[in-house]
Amino acid sequence: MQFHFKRRMLVLAGLGSCYPLVQAAQTTPSSVILVLGDSLSAEYGLQRGSGWVSLMTQRLQREQIHAHVVNASISGETTSGGRARLPALLQQHRPRFVVIELGANDALRGLSLRGTRDNLSAMVASSQAQGAQVVLVGMQMPPNFGKRYADDFARLFEEVAQARRCALVPFFLKGVADRPDARNWFQPDGIHPTEKAHPIMLDNVWEALKPLLLRRQART
């Protein structure tokens, strides 16, 4: 798998910050989808409304699935930051579905894989304890991080999903970062996908999320 990332730019971009794009829930608590992610979900460098989370709202409407999206993603977020913020978000929004897209910034900062795994597991467990179904979004590191590290990093998402019995997106950037012309699908920093990549990113998440939504809707 060939990535076209520059490590220095990866780190600088990963450590960036911006205000979270939070959309206040307007429907019943049982219909809320909470997205907890980093810059890949917070529309970093994109026109507002063009990221995959915003596109998911449009898809829900087209497919007449009654759910409302709360995007609590922040650029630069780590799993420890997400774990600290999650309890208040669960209490405030009472989501039935939680999409967790975190972990890449842990790797960029050189944080321990064990800590990342523990944080992800704790977030899935706390979401499930509140009655939410969880979609865990997996990521991969470029090869310059070393094959063993990259393999271990990708595997930890699988391990958490299996242990906690939650849905898994194996690789969030499938069809974007692994394509022959991948460099053309990323912003100049080499890490954040361009607008044209976000429909593909949504497709990757939607494959895991849609069955959960349909089962929930069939019961109501």
66 is catalytic: no
Among candidate residues 31, 39, 121, 127, the one labeled active-site is: 39
Contact 122, 83 (CB under 8 A): yes
Among candidate residues 68, 93, 192, 198, the one labeled active-site is: 192
Contact 203, 163 (CB under 8 A): no
Beta strands in the chain (DSSP E): 32-37, 68-71, 97-101, 133-137, 167-169
152 is catalytic: no
189 is catalytic: yes
Among candidate residues 68, 75, 93, 189, the one labeled active-site is: 189
Question: DSSP secondary structure string, 46-105?
Answer: S-TT-SHHHHHHHHHHHTT---EEEE---TT--HHHHHHHHHHHHHHH--SEEEEE--HH
Residues involved in catalysis: 39, 189, 192
